[in-house]
Amino acid sequence: MAKSKFEYVREFESHNTCLPNCFIVVRVDGKGFHKFTEAHGFEKPNDRDGLLLMSKAAACVMEEFNDISCAYGQSDEFSFVFNRDTNVYKRRTEKILSVVNSLFTSSYVFFWDKFICRRLKYPPSFDARIVMYPTVKNLRDYMCWRQADAHINNLYNTAFWGLVQKSGHTKQEAEKILCGTVSSEKHEIMFKNCNINYNNECELYKKGTMLVKRLVHKGKGDSYNTVYVPLNCDIINDKFWNENPHILNSDLDTPVCQEINEECQLVFVKTKKICDDSTKKTKEKKNRNPQRRNHVKAETNGVIE
């Protein structure tokens, strides 16, 4: 095709690329969600439906990018981890960042009505950043940092709103009571003043959500569907990583799961299936090949560097 005389302006474009061999993490975070959650009547300190909607939007992103091995979310944020050997968009930073962020945001809006029974009053937006981590330790420490953040905030918020909602304190009083307290003191305040045993609080709120891939049998045949399973578990200790070595090593196969629970079903429903069934045929993913899947089994021995 003949080039126009204006074509030269292309030369002004510049592209950044992610460093090779690094895990690529994209984190999206709700912009002004303090105001957004207030305006939309979210339950304080945690709104279960709102959190499930976040997971649903994250699962839509994972479905689009097969190279995302897991995603961790808490409060108004979600972090997506791309395999360190991914060649998605030739590792172009702006492209990865912008597509992940816009797909997450549009999915959040698209599925709003399925999770929240109140009208969406104005369009939410999310900021996004991209960070590269060269080692497994760096990546795991990043995930630990986000889960520790969830824990610290949730402990404070549960105590704060317990004092306000259950003990009738004003927000100012609650703030004063909690000022300078350490973790064990917050536990005690909740137990004595609000009749809350923090250990019995919902794992979704205490741990956040780790979305991982699993395969489930598709009917009677030997083919599989990929599902995105929300786990509300500890990701700081080794147990989770030892049980899911495929997250850190893309050569390993996605585990097969026998059944999916109700919460998983909510996250699992596919955007594309709702809109257009014909796209199904184009999805030939490496993990759906049962021969390959069986071949690599049992090599899974912990994390890799």
Query: Which does residue 44 touch among Mg ion, ligand GTP, none (CB within 5 to 8 A, set by kind)?
Result: ligand GTP
Q: Is 230 in the site for Mg ion (CB under 5 A)?
A: no
Least separation in angstroms between residue 211's CB and Mg ion is: 19
Least separation in angstroms between residue 232's CB and Mg ion is: 21
Q: Is 149 in the site for Mg ion (CB under 5 A)?
A: no
Which of 116/136 has CB closer to ligand GTP?
Answer: 116
Of 73-102, binders to Mg ion (CB under 5 A) are 76
Assigned token pair, 134: 């060269």
Which of 31/217 has CB closer to ligand GTP?
Answer: 31
In whole angstroms, give the CA distance from residue 209 to residue 232: 5
Which of 49/234 has CB closer to ligand GTP?
Answer: 49
Query: Which does residue 50 touch among ligand GTP, Mg ion, none (CB within 5 to 8 A, set by kind)?
Result: ligand GTP
Q: Is 33 in the site for Mg ion (CB under 5 A)?
A: yes
Least separation in angstroms between residue 57's CB and ligand GTP is: 14
Q: Is 234 in the site for Mg ion (CB under 5 A)?
A: no
Least separation in angstroms between residue 34's CB and Mg ion is: 7
Nearest to 72 by CA among 126, 153, 140: 140
Distance of CA 68 to the CA centre of its chain: 11
Which residues of this chain interact with ligand GTP, rule CB under 6 A?
29-34, 37, 42-47, 50-51, 75-76
Which of 37/250 has CB closer to Mg ion?
Answer: 37
DSSP letters, the chain, are -PPPTTGGGGGG----BPPTT-EEEEEEEETTHHHHHHHTT--SS--HHHHHHHHHHHHHHHHH-TTEEEEEEETTEEEEEE-TT--GGGGBHHHHHHHHHHHHHHHHHHTHHHH--SPP-S---EEEEEEEE-SHHHHHHHHHHHHHHHHHHHHHHHHHHHHHHTS---HHHHHHHHTT--HHHHHHHHHHHH---GGGS-HHHHH-EEEEEEEEE-TTSS-EEEEEEEE----SSHHHHHH-GGGT-TTSPPPB-S---HHHHHHHS-HHHHH-GGGGGG---GGG-HHHHHHHTT---S---
Least separation in angstroms between residue 170's CB and ligand GTP is: 18
Which of 67/149 has CB closer to ligand GTP?
Answer: 149
By beta-carbon distance, which residue lies closest to Mg ion? 30
Q: Is 29 in the site for Mg ion (CB under 5 A)?
A: yes
Least separation in angstroms between residue 292's CB and Mg ion is: 40
Least separation in angstroms between residue 29's CB and ligand GTP is: 5
Residues that bind Mg ion (CB under 5 A): 29-30, 33, 76
